[in-house]
Amino acid sequence: MAAMLEGKIGIVTGAGQGIGRESALVMAREGARLVVSDINLAMVEETAHLISQAGGTALPLKVDVARGEDLQALVELAVSHFGRLDCAFNNAGISGEGALLADFSEEGYDLLMAVNLKAVWRAMKLEIKQMLKQGGGGAIVNTSSVGGLVGKEHLSVYCATKHAVLGLTKSAALEYGAQGVRVNAVCPGVVRTPMVEAVISGTGTSLDDWSKLQPIGRFGTPSEIGEAVAWLCSDRASLVHGHALVADGGLTCA
Ligand SMILES: NC(=O)c1ccc[n+]([C@@H]2O[C@H](COP(=O)([O-])OP(=O)(O)OC[C@H]3O[C@@H](n4cnc5c(N)ncnc54)[C@H](O)[C@@H]3O)[C@@H](O)[C@H]2O)c1
């Protein structure tokens, strides 16, 4: 059977570690040629190196998703180097302050909105315009969260951004589906990454307790999210559109 993303050109944000890095590795394994980006250049260079060691193709680029010009450079590099853009994984995100809503700072609120929400909107604008221009459509996957479906103590503003990402995803699906651009989101549960380890260390609870939050009794792995993302980007998911794919080991069943 052919690899799922054979011949596709893709971009990934926040690909320096965690879900973004492992998803890029899965996408490349499935045949996509990629521009991998992150605010941390050294880390995303390492991701590109891992991809090329595994036989794939990826160019690294420093991109702060909060800067519109960086996102423009990301789309432009994919098009200038590879000729087109078929799939985009808008993944970069931060968890922000672990504070109760009434104690949350204005600066913390603005930063979360800029990185987790405005950047996704800006990236989608650029990606959709490129996909429409080249014809033949494309697939966009945005990283939401189970925090886009339910609330969580100490993460109110984070949850607000992730709910809003689903609003952008579903509305764009309505607007661009007829022109061949599929737009979906992935909602990870508790995936063991540097972000989650930092969040847990701020709560005073143990990694072991958190690992049991999901009914499967363990953390998710970043590559398990990558499998879902690669599939959503592929033509095998051709009927899946405007969907929030929950990959949470059953966390939101209760
Ligand atoms: N880990 C989880 O359990 C979990 C659950 C639900 C949703 N998510 C979401 O998944 C995404 C990835 O999370 P992760 O756990 O892999 O986090 P992580 O912190 O391990 O990795 C995030 C990556 O994004 C990069 N980044 C941060 N700010 C950036 C910016 N302004 N511009 C470009 N890159 C930036 C970081 O350098 C890092 O490489 C985030 O959107 C997060 O909200 C994670």
- Provide, rounded to the nearest whole percent, the portion of the chain with pLDDT above 90: 93
Half-sphere exposure of 33 (CA within 13 A, CB side): 13
Tell me the pLDDT band of 153, cut-offs 50, 70 and 90. very high
Check pLDDT > 80 for residue 193: yes
What is the position in ligand 1's atom list of the atom closest to the CA of 17?
Answer: 39
What is the position in ligand 1's atom list of the atom closest to the CA of 114?
Answer: 31
Distances, alpha carbon 155 to alpha carbons 53, 104, 145, 188, 191, in Å? 38, 10, 12, 15, 16
**Per-residue pLDDT tens digits for 208-222:** 999 899 999 999 999
Ligand 1 centre distance from Cα of residue 2 (Å): 30
Does 246 contact ligand 1 (Cβ within 6 A)? no
So what's the pLDDT on residue 247?
98
Residue nearest to atom 7 of ligand 1 (CA): 145
Domains of the chain are 9-248 (3.40.50.720)
| 109 noted as active-site residue | no
**Per-residue pLDDT tens digits for 65-124:** 999 999 999 999 999 999 999 999 999 999 999 899 999 999 999 999 999 999 999 999
